[in-house]
Amino acid sequence: MRIFNRIIVILLLAGIVALGVTTVFYIFDVSDYHLEDLSRTLGLNGLYDGVNGFVQRAENRNLDVLDIVVLALVALLGLVLLILELKPPSPRRVRMQKGTYVTRKAVEDEVNTAVEESHEVLQSNVKVKAQRRPGAIVNVTASVRPGENARSIEADVRDRVKRRLDQVGIPVGTINVQVRESDPRQTRTRVK
Amino acid sequence: MADDLQTARAVQDAALATEGVASLGTGRWAEAATYGARDKVTGVVVSPNEVRVHIVVNYPPPEPLPALAERVRERVTSKVGGRPTIVVVEDIEVVQDENL
């Protein structure tokens, strides 16, 4: 279950528990609580009136623009949450063959080593995603000095990463390389 | 429970005896281990549905990782009583040169 949906469900369940406990108090008239007072105590009378009015306006097709926008947004939010819930989670590990996996961290370490071998790269940031099919999607952001030839560095980094992963035998789906100019004073390495 | 520990130990021995395997991994977010009374085997997770082995591989590996992992899986399969086996390469470790 996605974290946002989990929070919503937890809040909903907590509300149901609280309502259940309160209702039990009122049903059994515990310490002067009476069931007929429950709706007034919970402030439901105003809510009933509001819902009644809303339903009547909807039946008369008399909803204002704000109501329609809010309803549309609620429906859209519900749809997004439903899709997120139904979507299978992305795999945690990179599949090599049937029953054999390599962790994303291990792939990241290999890619990092390959990228930082390049003399032009001062710092790199590597993100690896596992695909459902064998192979990984590798996203590399390489920081270089201003004025460097970004296109040749990009090709060089891609080539190094591909060679290193081929050498180790890790299957790769896509390698995305982004070269970013950075101030050497703000990168991990200033000079190579 | 005791059977699980015995299975885990047999799997651990088989995996460590494979050329190219430096050690067994410990898991990243949760510990990868099989637990018993006052004992545990790290790097092997034995459950009723599957057996998972976490390995740390030497760099450079003697063969490509998929082939190495497959070899570990083949060696381990005979020890797990027909359960599906999963091999996870958790890390790649540079071999220290003893002459340095």
Task: Tell how strand B51-59 and strand B44-46 pair up.
Answer: antiparallel
Query: How many whole angstroms separate alpha carbon B32 and alpha carbon B41?
Result: 9
Which amino acid is residue A96, in one-letter code? Answer: M
Of A97, A102, A105, the CB nearest to B70: A97
Nearest to A103 among B61, B66, B88 (CB): B88
Do the domain assignments include residue B99?
no
Contacts of A130 (CB under 8 A, 6+ apart): A90, A91, A92, A93, A94, A95, A104, A136, A137
Omega of the bond prior to B60 within 30 degrees of 0, cis?
A: yes
The whole domain housing B46 covers 2-94
The domains located in chain A, with CATH, are: 2-86 (no CATH), 93-186 (3.30.70.1350)
A169 to chain B, any CB pair closer than 8 A? The answer is: yes
pTM: 0.69
**Per-residue model confidence as pLDDT tens for chain B (100 residues):** 558 899 999 999 999 999 999 999 998 888 999 998 888 999 999 999 999 999 999 988 889 999 999 999 999 998 888 899 999 999 998 876 655 5
Residue A90: predicted pLDDT: 82
Q: Which amino acid, one-letter code, is at B61?
A: P
A117 in B contact zone (CB under 8 Å): no
Residues in chain B within 8 Å Cβ distance of A102? 65, 69, 88-89
Strand partners, B59: B94
- ipTM for this prediction: 0.84
Number of folded domains that form chain B: 1
Q: Which of B61, B64, B85 sits opposite A99 (nearest CB)?
A: B85
- Identify the CATH number of the domain in which residue B52 sits: 3.30.70.1350
- Residue B79 maps to a domain: yes
The b-or-e profile of B54-76 (16+ CB within 10 A means b, else e) is bbbbbbebeebbbbbbbbbbebb
Residue B10 in contact with partner chain A when CB distance is under 8 A: no
What confidence tens digit (pLDDT) does each residue in A112-140 have?
A: 999 988 888 888 999 999 998 899 999 99
Chain B nearest C-alpha distance from A108 (Å): 10
Question: Tens digit of pLDDT for each residue in A24-56?
Answer: 877 777 777 777 777 777 777 888 888 888 888
B55 to chain A, any CB pair closer than 8 A? The answer is no
CA proximity to B23, closest of B9, B43, B6, B52: B43
Give A68-113 pLDDT, tens digit per residue: 898 899 999 999 988 888 888 888 899 998 889 999 999 999 999 9
Burial call A17-27: b when 16+ CB within 10 Å, e when fewer: eeeeeeeeebe
Q: Are A135 and A172 in contact (CB under 8 A)?
A: yes
The answer to whether position B68 is within a domain reads yes
Establish if B70 touches chain A: CB-CB under 8 angstroms: yes
Q: Is residue B100 part of a domain?
A: no
Min Cα distance A135 → chain B (Å) is 11
Which chain A residues contact residue B88 at CB under 8 A?
A: 93, 100-103
A97: closest chain B residue by CA? B66
